[in-house]
Amino acid sequence: MAAKSDDEVPKGAAVLPVIPEELGVDPLLLAVLHATIFFDGSEENVVNQRAAREAMEYMADYLRRLSGPRLAKVHEDLACLAAFAREEGWRKEQIQFFKEFLENFGVGEKN
């Protein structure tokens, strides 16, 4: 059995496939989406779940600050990502992630 390289991603780490630049999706949104998948989907041996939950609560608070044209652009980008994922044959859960992302974070809800 070969020794495990320090450069290998540990088993249990959740990641999204690469999103092509040509889609025109805001890179900051992509960074948040990738972080969300990693924090929420990775196993305990990879990410401390309490720490991940806390980080995601802050991310949700910041995302709830979106409004107007910026929020509209995020909606457009997420719809674009859902369509891309469907066209590429991604798993249903990955497509749903894009469709439900803002709702799951409480973005756009009235307080």
Which residue segment(s) compose the domain that 82 sits in?
A: 26-104
Residue 93 placed within a domain: yes
Output the CA angle 50-94-12, nearest 5 degrees: 45
Residue 21 placed within a domain: no
Closest CA to 103 of 81, 69, 70, 71: 71
Structure tokens belonging to residue 75: 């909606």
Percent of the chain at pLDDT exceeding 90: 78
pLDDT of residue 110: 56
Residue 73 placed within a domain: yes
Whether 14 has a pLDDT exceeding 50, the answer reads yes
Provide the whole-model pTM. 0.85
